[in-house]
Amino acid sequence: MLKKILFVLLIGASMMACKNDPPKISAETGFPNYGAEISIDGAMSYSEMVDKMGDAEKFPAKVKGKVSEVCKVKGCWMNISAEGKEEMMVNFKDYAFFMPLDIAGKEVVMQGYAFRELTSVKDLKHYAEDEGLSQEEIDAITEPEQQLKFLADGVILLEKTKEMK
């Protein structure tokens, strides 16, 4: 009986941890703010962040960039890109918030820190599945990859969502 109770509590806690509350509206911009409330003041461009980061292991920053991809399953990660710069994968602190699934091509400001990490083949395949790649493309992933990543505390989507229009 105790095992059943613990199981039910564990399932409930898991569901609460994965909830995605609606975004707050930034008083500064009027746009949706996901996660921690942040300001757009002092945000540097993604290209500038990459240049300033150089070889640093960890680089605290507030960054403005263009979303190139979003996890198509639940918005639990996004990629930021800029011409001539490597793509950066963005995850969200404590898995506490997700982004809308339809924001590819949109601008965001995010606050947190950038870092480099070796991503395992297992994780790369998982991200490829989330991205909707074909099984052939997923099977072609056979080596881990050094990636530029960002852990965001908060993100402002610099466009009103469908619910706001």
pLDDT number for residue 153: 97
Tell me if residue 16 falls in helix, strand or coil: helix
Distances (CA, A) of 138 to 19, 62, 150: 28, 33, 23
- Long-range pairs for 81-87: beta carbons < 8 A, 24 or more residues apart: 81/46, 82/45, 82/46, 82/47, 82/50, 84/47, 85/46, 85/47, 85/50, 86/50, 86/148, 87/148
Task: Give the type of residue at 91.
Answer: N
The residues spanned by each domain of the chain are: 22-164
* Each residue's pLDDT expressed in tens, for the chain with a length of 165 residues: 544 444 444 444 444 444 457 889 888 889 999 999 999 999 999 999 999 999 899 999 999 999 999 998 899 999 999 988 999 999 999 999 999 999 999 999 999 999 999 999 999 898 888 888 899 999 999 999 999 999 999 999 998 766 555
C-beta of residue 47 within 8 angstroms of C-beta of residue 87: no
Name which CATH class applies to 22-164: mainly beta
Nearest to 34 by CA among 45, 22, 19, 46: 22
